[in-house]
Structure 1
């Protein structure tokens, strides 16, 4: 069950205080530079003997540690003294239990997230940090879906790099003892002709495949429709990601939705057992309400995903849950309300 993270109370370990601050900043879509300062400080603190942290706190020399600045030193010092850091307290006081007014029942029904990114492509944190935060949020599983190779601006994974990542996923799962599963996935680019930006052999090794359009978003409606239908007809595709490509707010500006025959695309999704993603990112809100209602009418499955590029963004699913609940999407048609075994069996061609 995906749930809000309970506020930290004193005493708190310095690294935990820094991690929680980074989480809350990411959740609130703060600037990357601010977040990275706290994430870097976590690494430094973890690598420093606690006795040295105490000594440096008493001597006022924490900032002599490379990667510790004035703000992060203040947090560490207060935590070392057994206090709840003031900055952490202020962020926790401002944070609400949920990012959305509504959708709580669906949020509680979610078991995991089918779309997330790590620093292997364009995410901001390593895989283990994404996993740790997912565990803290109550997930049973997380699908790791870094980008495919054509998306060079996002450092997409070649077959060789993806192969190495799959080995890392195996190591992570071995260390978790079965209480949580990191599933193998990809956000694969839908190429101009509807083919997929990864080899069939590599896609066959994955648990869940999210397919998305990232290029030529202004393609004319007819070829865009053919492109998307061809992709969802591919038996290796499980989820159609952020289908319109629109941006409605945020630092990247706005972008109109792509033009395509939504009925034809969603009918292909329904016929081929492909879930339509309800992308929860605030700047996407994709698909728009009227298209989500159309997909619901046609009988599509759905996946409410965070599309997280940082640990704190895993909580974005609350926004997608609010939209889905408001528009009447039933929990039984949302694939990430299913347990991991059922999800993987469905993704590999089993019955929904």
Structure 2
């Protein structure tokens, strides 16, 4: 099956290859199409296979030329023009551009000058001092490349949560339709909502494992069968490996707990069980108080739980622990003390405080974005387009004069809207911690999100000083995507979440969990550290079109991984509480 993520990846590659060849304008069109394809609420290939070509033509940013390429790829598995571009520039673009400071144009230049095609070539050229000899490069650039090659290798091995989870949902939907299967759920890191995952792990309960596996292998979305047996099967769907394990119904709960992990959580839980004369494994919870050798086998002792996952925790006197918390960061002690958090849910979110429009680098009007927010049932919604400053993509930030003009436009939309529309801006935190907004602009705005976009290679001390200075600025309400990281692309600033949290708590500034699937910044452990210092957070989508307001799903689960409750999240508050908080 051709997934939306797979399609989007092809058009991202299209854009990169065109940019590497110095083609103007087209790369931006292909990137916009890729973003809209990825955010599309339903599988595009399914729509085409059902004969609904209009569904493709109606995707924002997809005109006739791109639409025909989508159809071509779904029907044939390739795009002729893309294949020609690959022949002209035979490089591993995805891997090379994961190196910090290496963009498509750099890849093009290095291929033409040094015939560099992959990470091994790049590393060898940097070690030999060949890159600094190329026009436009120098010793500092070469050293930066050399220092980041290994990181680029490691990050290429995992899928983004936001790209893999929709496939996991499709897997579950199919398995739930199989008569031989009585219960099913995903497991592993994807069930814990980690920001990146290796494979999609699924678990099913069935009286006959062979029948369940046979039915699974009939799923039409499977592109290739890797291996299969009477209880397990591994297949490839698009670019992702999917592993299915089948267990008998009475062991579904214990298997789900075991295969969800994490490993550290399970080790801690098993030790907790041992202290209480219990034994835990994928087959159940066993009372071994009367057993001479508890290690004599997997099913030793009296089996007291295993049919449901909740039973596995109840057998130890614990409440069920949400999967997002199972990282051995204190969750078992909290459960034992009755102090597990009442985690935030998507239904608690009342608005979005960081979104964009066509005034800067978004794709839609203020009215269209507000209408989409109202349809989601939000109480309030903020437009926060980019202010001008270092690192803003394509130089598309707004000047102070343009910001004031936009505030007037937002006020007009607010007067006619069914929800409260706030006038905001995403200011840039420069290398010294300044945000570059005039007093008149600050006074006119309702909410200011300040984010780092440049100088993301600062050392930890400089990064800390920079972000704390922005936090201390009385005009700043929210620090947006604090590290500036892009998953699988760049590491961003090395931040101390505890120190940031302490500063944010002192100055009543919120720290953002940016829900964009390529950011998820702050991440779970950082959120937890900040909250422990008394900070509060905002869960924003950074949406650039209506469809990406759906990204709030990823942000909420990321915040849950950080133990966030509704009271910790400013955009889960009512409007009066929010306005009292905003500076």
Common topology (TM > 0.5): yes
1:210 maps to what in 2? Answer: 449
The structure-2 alpha-carbon separation of the partners of 1:105 and 1:192, relative to structure 1 and needing over 3 Å to count, comes to: closer
2:184 maps to 1:163: no
Distance change in 2, residues 1:296/1:263 (3 Å): same
Per the TM alignment, residue 168 of structure 1 is displaced from its structure 2 partner at its CA by 0.8
Mark the CA change 1:167 to 1:295 in structure 2 (over 3 Å): closer, same or farther: same
For the Cα contact (< 8 Å) 1:221–1:260, is it kept in 2? yes
Q: What corresponds to 1:175 in structure 2?
A: 416
Residues in 2 aligned to 1:70 and 1:191: alpha-carbon distance in whole angstroms: 37
Deviation sequence 1:183-202 (CA, Å, 0-9, x none): 01011001122111211221
Secondary structure, counterpart of 1:266 in structure 2: helix
Large movers: runs of 4+ above 6 Å: 67-72, 93-97, 99-104
Question: Which TM-score applies when normalising by structure 2?
Answer: 0.43
Q: Name the CA distance, whole Å, in 1 between partners of 2:578 and 2:388.
A: 26
| Counterpart secondary structure, 2:356 | coil
State the partner residue of 1:275.
510
Q: Would the alpha carbon gap of residues 35 and 211 (structure 1) be closer, same or farther in structure 2, given more than 3 Å must change?
A: farther
Unaligned runs of 5+ in 2: 1-33, 45-54, 69-168, 174-189, 194-322, 325-342
Q: Could you give the per-residue CA deviations for residues 243-286 of structure 1, whole angstroms, max 9, x where no partner exists?
A: 1111114xxxx101312443322211110011111111111111
Partner SS state of residue 146, structure 1: strand
Counterpart of 1:39 in structure 2 is 60
Alignment equivalent of 2:371, drawn from 118, 132, 136: 132
Q: Secondary structure at the match of 1:269?
A: helix
Q: How does 1:142-157 map to 2 (within 5 A)?
A: 142-150=381-389, 151=392, 153-157=394-398
* 1:247 corresponds to 2:486: yes
Q: 2:250 matched to which residue of 1?
A: none
Q: Secondary structure at the match of 2:422?
A: strand
Structure 1: how far apart are the matches of 2:57 and 2:408? 27
Question: 1:203: Cα distance to partner?
Answer: 1.3
Matched ranges for 1:49-64 at <5 A: none
Q: Distance in 1 between matches of 2:39 and 2:499?
A: 35
Cα distance in 2 for residues equivalent to 1:95 and 1:148: 42
- Equivalent of 2:579 in 335, 344, 347: 344
What is the RMSD of the two structures over their aligned residues, measured on CA atoms?
3.4
Shift of 1:205: 1.2
CA distance in 1: counterparts of 2:363 and 2:56, whole angstroms? 9
Task: For 1:285 and 1:133, locate their aligned partners in 2 and report how far apart those are by CA, in whole Å.
Answer: 22
**Residue in 2 aligned with 1:220?**
459
Query: Which structure carries more relative contact order (alpha carbon 8 Å, separation 6+)?
Result: 1
In 1, Cα distance between equivalents of 2:369 and 2:571? 17
Q: CA deviation at 1:40?
A: 6.8
**Greater radius of gyration (CA):** 2
SS in structure 1 at match of 2:558: helix
* Post-superposition CA distance 1:298-346 (Å, at most 9, x none): 1110101101111100110111111222332111110001122321221
Q: Deviations over 1:137-184 (max 9, x none)?
A: 1111111110111136251010111111111111111222xx301101
In 2 relative to 1, CA 96–278 (structure 1 residues): closer, same or farther, beyond 3 Å? Answer: farther
- Aligned length, in residue pairs: 275
1:192 pairs with 2:431: yes
- Structure having the larger proportion of residues in strand: 2
Name the structure 2 match of 1:308: 543
Structure 2 equivalent of residue 27 of structure 1: 39
Residues 214-242 of structure 1 deviation map (CA, whole Å, 9 limit, x = unaligned): 01000122222111111100111111111
1:109 Cα offset (Å): 0.8
